[in-house]
C-alpha cells in the first residue's frame, strides 16, 4: 500500500492558541479516511495545511509525496478540495459552476463525466438553477461534483455533511464509497460520530490532538469497559440519580436511554438496586456492545481530564 | 483564463447592484453635475434705478435687457425702492444710472454707474457684476466710436481662453470623468475580489492550477472593458447633452482613459489584497480613494490655493494628473507631446500598483 499523506510532528498555532498540537500520522492510498471531532477540534486547520492553504507553525507534511510548503504548485492540481463552508458561486447556475471549475482545471465536463455521473444525475434537473437557491443536500452534491471534475488523486472534504438532512447524508456517504472504488483517496472530516463507522479508518481529534487512529471495527472491539444501557419511565430524575451513584465511571444520554459505564460488570446489579430504591419503575438495564460513538465518548472524556 | 473571464461577466451582469453602480452612478452623476450644479447664470432678474430718464439711459437699459444674462424686471425712479426689491428676493442686482448720465457721456466725462448686487449668494453676485461690466463696457465702446472727439481710452479687455463664456460644464466634465472612472474601476474590482474571499471561493481558486497573475488578469479584463464603455458613455453625454466641445484628439483621450482605468483597477486590486470583506473594500475605496480624489485633485478646490503640504499630497493623487490630461486634450487640443510627463506619471503608478498587488496577493489563506 502506498502512502498518500505523511505527517511529521506537524503543529499549528493561531497566535497563542494551539489549534493543532504536534501530530504524527500517515494515511494510506485508496482509503476513505475520516477525521471525527467536535467543532473547534482543529479539523479545518489540518485540512488547510494539507491542501497547502496554510503554513504549519512547525513540522512537515507530505501529500502524494509532495511537500505542502515547497511543492504546493505541483500539489494543488492533484487535489480536490471541498471547504467546510459552501464555497461555490451562488450567483451562477449549477451548470455554470461546473463548467467554470472544469475550465479552471483545464478539463471539460465530458472528460471526467463518468466520475460525477451518479452525483450529477441527481442535480441535473436543476442545472439552470442558481447554486445559491439549491437545498443543503443539493449544494453539497454540486460542490462534490465541482471538486471531482478534474479527477483528483486525493479528495479533501471538510465537513461535507454538516447541515444536511439524514437521507442526503446517507446518499452522500454512498457516493464516497463509490468514488473510493475509482481509486481516489478520500479524506473527510465530520462532527457526527455515527459517520465514523462508514470510513475505512478514522482518527478521533479533539482540542488539536489526535486521540486514536484505527479502523472503526478495531476501535469498537478494543473497548473493554463494562457498558450498560439504562432505561426508566422516570426520565427526569434518572440522570440525577445515576450521577449520585458511587460506582458510576461515566454516563451520557444516548437517544432515549442512558449509556452507563461502571468499573466492573457486577456494578450493574448494584445500580439496579440503587435505582429501585430511588423508585424507578420499568427499569431496563442491559449490557451492550460499544458503538463507535461509545468509544469516542469515552476517549474524549479521558482527554478532558 | 477564458473560463474565468466568462464567469466574471456572468456574475457582473447577474448582479443588479453592481450593474447599477457600473452604469447608473456615472449617468446620474453627470446629469446631476450638469443640471443641478450648473453655475452658469442666464436670465437673472434685475432692477434698474433710472434717475436720468433720457434716451441714452433707455438705450443702455435696452442693451442690458437684450443680453442673455439679464431680464430687467423693474425700473424705479429712486434708490428708495432698492431695499424693498431685494427683500422680495426676485431681484438679484440693481443698476443705478445717475442723473447726468447722457450729459457726461456726451462730453466724454467720467460716468459712475452704481451696481448693487445681492451678495447673500456671493458666487452669483460676483458673476452678475462681471456680466454687468461686460455689457456696460461694450455699450461704452459703441458710444465712443460715435463721438468724433474721442480720447484714447485704455481699456482692459480680458478674454477667458479655452472657456470663453466660463461655462461650468468645461470644469466639471474632466473632474466627474476622472472620479467616475476611479470609483467604478477601483471599487468594483476590489469588491469583486473581496467577495471571493468573503464567500470562501478564493479558497477553492487557490487550490487550483490558476495563478495569482491569472486571477488578477481575469478580474481586470471585464472591468477594463466595462469601464471603457463607461468612459465613452460619459463623453457622449457631455458632448450631446451639455454641448462640451472636443478640440483634441478623441483617440488620444480614449487611450489616456484606458491607461487611467488600468491604474484605477490595479489600485482596486491592491485594496482588495488588504481587505478581507466586501465592506472593508468598499469603505477603503470610498475614503482612501474617492474623497482624496475629489478634494485634492483640483476638481473642487484649486491646488494653487492649498497649503504646501496638501499641494505635495496632491501630486500623489493619480486623479490630479488625469484631470490635467483630460482638460488639456478636451479644451486646449493638446497632443501627447505636451502631455507625456503626466502620462508617464500615471503609467508608473499603474506599474507600481500592479507589481504591489501581485506581490501582496496571498497564495495562501492569511494566517490569522
Domain shared by B62 and B183, yes or no:
no
DSSP string, A94-130: HHHHHHHHHHHTT--TTTTHHHHHHHHHHHGGGTTSB
Q: Is the pLDDT of residue B156 over 60?
A: no
The single-letter DSSP state of residue A78 is G
Domain shared by B171 and B274, yes or no:
yes
Q: Which residue of B has its CA nearest to A57?
A: B367
Domain shared by B295 and B225, yes or no:
yes
For B286, the domain range is: 2-37+167-360
d(CA B188, CA B23): 12
Domain boundaries, chain A: 3-220, 224-289
Let me know if residue B160 belongs to a domain.
Answer: no
Cβ–Cβ below 8 Å for A106 and B208: no
Percent of chain A beyond pLDDT 90? Answer: 23
Domain shared by B97 and B133, yes or no:
yes
Domain shared by B212 and B274, yes or no:
yes
Q: Which residue of A has its CA nearest to B1?
A: A104
Please, are residues A178 and A25 in contact by the beta-carbon 8 Å criterion?
Answer: no
Let me know if residue B191 belongs to a domain.
Answer: yes
Classify B76 as helix, strand or coil: strand
Please, are residues A64 and B168 in contact by the beta-carbon 8 Å criterion?
Answer: no
d(CA B358, CA B266): 10
Q: Are strands A3-14 and A17-28 parallel, antiparallel or unpaired?
A: antiparallel
Let me know if residue B242 belongs to a domain.
Answer: yes
pLDDT of residue B367: 47
Q: Which residue of A has its CA nearest to B211?
A: A73
Which whole number is the average pLDDT over A122-145? Answer: 88
Cβ–Cβ below 8 Å for B364 and A55: yes
Q: Is the pLDDT of residue B342 over 60?
A: yes
Which whole number is the average pLDDT over B254-261? Answer: 93
Q: Which residue of A has its CA nearest to B362?
A: A53
Let me know if residue B156 belongs to a domain.
Answer: no
Let me know if residue B153 belongs to a domain.
Answer: no
Cβ–Cβ below 8 Å for A52 and B207: yes
CB burial class (10 A; 0-12, 13-18, 19+) of residue B178? buried
Domain shared by B15 and B105, yes or no:
no
Q: Is the pLDDT of residue B39 over 70?
A: no
Domain shared by B110 and B176, yes or no:
no
Nearest chain A CA: its distance from B306 CA (Å) = 46
d(CA B200, CA A196): 27
Let me know if residue B365 belongs to a domain.
Answer: no
- Give the tens place of pLDDT for each residue, B267-323: 888 888 888 888 888 888 888 888 888 888 887 777 888 888 888 888 888 888 999
Contacts of B7 in chain A (CB under 8 A): 89, 92, 96, 100
Which whole number is the average pLDDT over B195-209? Answer: 87
pLDDT of residue B263: 92
The single-letter DSSP state of residue A93 is B
Nearest chain B CA: its distance from A66 CA (Å) = 14
d(CA A52, CA A50): 5
Percent of chain B beyond pLDDT 90? Answer: 8
Q: Is the pLDDT of residue A35 over 90?
A: yes
Cβ–Cβ below 8 Å for A54 and B364: yes
Please name the member of B201, B203, B209 whose beta carbon is closest to the beta carbon of A89.
B201
Compute the C-alpha angle A53/A23/A187, nearest 5°: 55
Contacts of A86 in chain B (CB under 8 A): 200
pLDDT of residue B149: 47
Cβ–Cβ below 8 Å for A89 and B11: yes
Please name the member of A48, A76, A96 whose beta carbon is closest to the beta carbon of B365.
A48
Please name the member of A14, A53, A92 whose beta carbon is closest to the beta carbon of B207.
A53
C-alpha atoms less than 13 angstroms from C-alpha of A93 in its C-beta half-sphere: 10
Let me know if residue B206 belongs to a domain.
Answer: yes
- Give the tens place of pLDDT for each residue, A38-86: 888 889 999 999 999 888 999 999 999 999 889 888 898 899 999 888 8
φ, ψ of residue A46 to 5 degrees: the values are -60, -45
Q: Is the pLDDT of residue B190 over 70?
A: yes
Compute the C-alpha angle B176/B177/B179, nearest 5°: 60
Q: Which residue of A has its CA nearest to B364?
A: A53
pLDDT of residue B151: 47
Which of A22, A304, A149, A293 has its CA nearest to residue B208? Answer: A149
Domain boundary among B113, B146, B179: B146
Q: Which residue of A has its CA nearest to B195?
A: A89
The single-letter DSSP state of residue B302 is -
Which of A138, A99, A96, A97 has its CA nearest to residue A119? Answer: A138
Cβ–Cβ below 8 Å for A91 and B6: no
Percent of chain A beyond pLDDT 70? Answer: 99
Question: Which helix (DSSP H) or strand (DSSP E) does residue A24 occupy?
Answer: strand A17-28
Percent of chain B beyond pLDDT 70? Answer: 90
Question: Which helix (DSSP H) or strand (DSSP E) does residue A63 occupy?
Answer: strand A58-63
The number of C-beta contacts closer than 8 angstroms across A and B is: 78
Q: How many domains does chain B have?
A: 2
The residue with greater pLDDT, B59 or B151, is B59
Residue whose grid cell is 500520522: A25
DSSP string, A229-278: EEE-S-HHHHHHHHHH-TT--EEEEETTEEEEE-SSTTHHHHHHHHHHHT
Cβ–Cβ below 8 Å for B204 and A101: yes
Q: Which of B203, B206, B215, B219 to mutate to test the interface with A (most CBs of A within 10 A)?
A: B203
Cβ–Cβ below 8 Å for B200 and A96: no
Classify B176 as helix, strand or coil: helix
Q: Which of A80, A83, A158 to mutate to test the interface with B (most CBs of B within 10 A)?
A: A83
pLDDT of residue A203: 92
Please, are residues A115 and A101 in contact by the beta-carbon 8 Å criterion?
Answer: no
C-alpha atoms less than 13 angstroms from C-alpha of A223 in its C-beta half-sphere: 23
Contacts of B4 in chain A (CB under 8 A): 100, 103-104
Confidence grade of residue B175 (pLDDT, cut at 50, 70, 90): confident
Strands (E), B90-146: 93-97, 114-117
Please name the member of B200, B206, B363 whose beta carbon is closest to the beta carbon of A85.
B200
Nearest chain B CA: its distance from A184 CA (Å) = 17
Kindly report the CATH class assigned to A224-289: alpha beta
Contacts of B199 in chain A (CB under 8 A): 87, 89-90
Fold of the domain built from segment(s) A3-220: Rossmann fold (3.40.50)
Cβ–Cβ below 8 Å for B364 and A101: no
Please name the member of A14, A87, A92 whose beta carbon is closest to the beta carbon of B7.
A92
Q: Which residue of B has its CA nearest to A80?
A: B207
Query: A58: alpha, beta or left, given left = phi > 0 and alpha = psi -120 to 50?
Result: beta
Domain shared by B93 and B232, yes or no:
no
What does the block give as the cell for B120? 447673500
Confidence grade of residue B252 (pLDDT, cut at 50, 70, 90): very high
The residue with greater pLDDT, B127 or A169, is A169
Please name the member of B3, B199, B200 whose beta carbon is closest to the beta carbon of A104.
B3
Which whole number is the average pLDDT over B112-131? Answer: 80
pLDDT of residue B254: 92
CB burial class (10 A; 0-12, 13-18, 19+) of residue A126? middle
Contacts of A72 in chain B (CB under 8 A): 363
Q: Give me the CATH number covering residue B84.
A: 3.40.1710.10
Contacts of A132 in chain B (CB under 8 A): none
- Give the tens place of pLDDT for each residue, A187-205: 999 998 888 889 999 999 9
Please name the member of B209, B365, B368 whose beta carbon is closest to the beta carbon of A105.
B209
Domain shared by B354 and B237, yes or no:
yes
Domain boundary among B114, B146, B178: B146
Cβ–Cβ below 8 Å for A54 and B2: no
Amino acid at each position: 500500500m502506498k502512502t498518500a499523506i505523511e505527517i511529521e510532528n506537524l503543529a499549528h498555532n493561531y497566535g497563542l492558541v494551539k489549534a493543532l498540537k504536534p501530530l504524527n500520522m500517515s494515511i494510506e492510498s485508496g482509503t476513505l479516511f475520516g477525521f471525527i471531532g467536535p467543532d473547534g477540534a482543529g479539523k479545518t486547520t489540518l485540512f488547510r495545511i494539507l491542501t497547502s492553504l496554510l503554513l504549519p507553525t512547525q513540522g512537515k507534511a507530505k501529500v502524494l509525496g509532495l511537500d505542502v510548503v515547497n511543492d504546493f504548485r505541483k500539489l494543488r492540481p492533484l487535489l480536490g478540495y471541498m471547504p467546510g463552508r459552501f464555497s461555490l458561486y451562488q450567483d451562477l447556475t449549477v451548470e455554470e459552476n461546473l463548467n467554470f471549475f472544469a475550465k479552471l482545471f483545464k478539463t471539460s465536463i465530458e472528460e471526467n463525466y463518468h466520475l460525477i455521473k451518479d452525483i450529477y444525475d441527481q442535480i441535473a434537473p436543476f442545472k439552470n438553477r442558481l447554486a445559491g437557491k439549491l437545498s443543503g443536500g443539493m449544494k453539497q452534491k454540486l460542490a462534490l461534483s465541482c471538486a471531482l471534475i478534474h479527477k483528483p488523486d486525493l479528495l479533501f472534504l471538510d465537513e461535507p455533511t454538516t447541515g444536511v438532512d439524514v437521507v442526503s447524508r446517507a446518499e452522500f456517504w454512498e457516493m464516497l464509497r463509490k468514488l473510493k472504488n475509482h481509486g481516489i483517496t478520500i479524506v473527510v472530516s465530520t462532527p457526527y460520530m455515527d459517520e465514523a463507522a462508514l470510513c475505512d479508518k478514522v482518527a478521533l481529534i479533539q482540542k488539536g490532538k489526535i486521540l486514536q487512529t484505527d479502523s472503526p471495527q478495531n476501535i469498537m472491539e478494543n473497548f473493554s469497559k463494562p457498558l450498560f444501557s439504562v432505561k426508566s419511565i422516570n426520565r427526569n430524575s434518572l440522570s440525577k440519580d445515576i450521577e449520585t451513584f458511587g460506582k458510576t465511571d461515566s454516563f451520557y444520554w444516548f437517544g432515549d436511554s442512558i449509556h452507563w459505564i461502571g468499573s466492573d460488570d457486577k456494578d450493574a446489579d448494584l445500580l439496579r438496586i440503587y435505582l429501585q430504591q430511588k423508585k424507578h419503575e420499568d427499569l431496563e438495564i442491559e449490557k451492550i456492545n460499544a458503538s463507535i460513538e461509545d468509544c469516542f465518548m469515552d476517549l474524549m472524556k479521558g482527554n478532558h481530564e | 483564463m477564458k473560463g474565468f473571464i466568462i464567469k466574471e461577466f456572468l456574475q457582473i451582469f447577474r448582479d443588479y447592484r453592481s450593474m447599477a453602480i457600473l452604469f447608473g452612478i456615472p449617468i446620474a452623476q453627470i446629469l446631476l453635475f450638469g443640471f443641478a450644479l450648473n453655475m452658469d447664470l442666464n436670465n437673472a432678474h434685475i432692477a434698474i434705478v433710472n434717475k436720468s430718464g433720457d434716451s441714452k439711459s433707455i438705450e443702455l437699459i435696452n442693451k442690458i435687457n437684450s443680453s442673455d444674462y439679464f431680464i430687467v424686471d423693474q425700473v424705479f425712479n429712486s434708490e428708495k425702492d432698492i431695499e424693498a426689491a431685494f427683500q422680495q428676493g426676485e431681484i438679484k442686482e440693481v443698476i443705478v444710472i445717475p442723473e447726468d448720465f447722457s450729459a457726461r457721456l456726451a462730453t466724454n466725462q467720467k460716468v459712475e454707474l452704481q451696481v448693487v448686487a445681492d451678495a447673500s449668494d456671493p458666487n452669483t453676485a460676483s458673476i452678475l457684476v462681471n456680466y454687468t461690466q461686460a455689457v456696460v463696457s461694450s455699450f461704452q465702446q459703441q458710444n465712443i466710436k460715435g463721438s468724433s472727439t474721442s480720447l484714447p481710452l485704455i481699456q482692459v479687455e480680458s478674454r477667458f481662453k479655452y472657456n470663453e463664456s466660463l461655462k461650468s460644464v468645461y470644469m466639471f466634465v474632466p473632474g466627474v470623468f476622472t472620479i467616475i472612472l476611479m470609483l467604478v474601476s477601483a471599487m468594483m474590482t476590489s469588491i469583486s475580489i473581496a467577495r471571493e474571499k468573503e464567500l470562501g471561493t478564493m479558497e477553492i481558486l487557490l487550490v487550483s492550477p490558476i495563478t495569482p497573475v491569472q486571477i488578477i488578469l481575469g478580474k481586470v479584463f471585464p472591468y477594463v472593458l466595462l469601464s471603457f464603455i463607461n468612459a465613452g458613455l460619459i463623453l457622449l453625454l457631455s458632448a450631446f447633452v451639455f454641448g462640451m466641445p472636443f478640440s483634441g484628439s478623441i483617440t488620444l483621450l480614449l487611450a489616456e482613459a484606458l491607461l487611467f482605468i488600468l491604474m484605477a483597477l490595479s489600485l482596486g486590486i491592491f485594496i482588495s489584497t488588504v481587505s478581507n470583506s466586501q465592506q472593508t473594500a468598499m469603505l477603503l475605496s470610498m475614503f482612501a480613494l474617492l474623497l482624496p480624489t475629489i478634494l485634492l485633485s483640483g476638481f473642487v478646490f484649486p491646488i494653487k490655493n492649498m497649503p504646501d503640504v496638501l499641494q505635495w499630497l496632491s501630486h500623489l493623487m493619480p486623479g490630479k494628473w488625469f484631470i490635467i490630461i483630460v482638460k488639456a486634450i478636451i479644451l486646449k487640443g493638446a497632443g501627447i507631446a505636451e502631455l507625456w510627463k503626466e502620462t508617464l506619471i500615471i503609467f508608473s503608478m499603474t506599474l507600481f500598483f500592479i507589481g504591489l498587488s501581485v506581490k501582496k496577493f496571498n497564495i495562501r489563506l492569511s494566517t490569522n
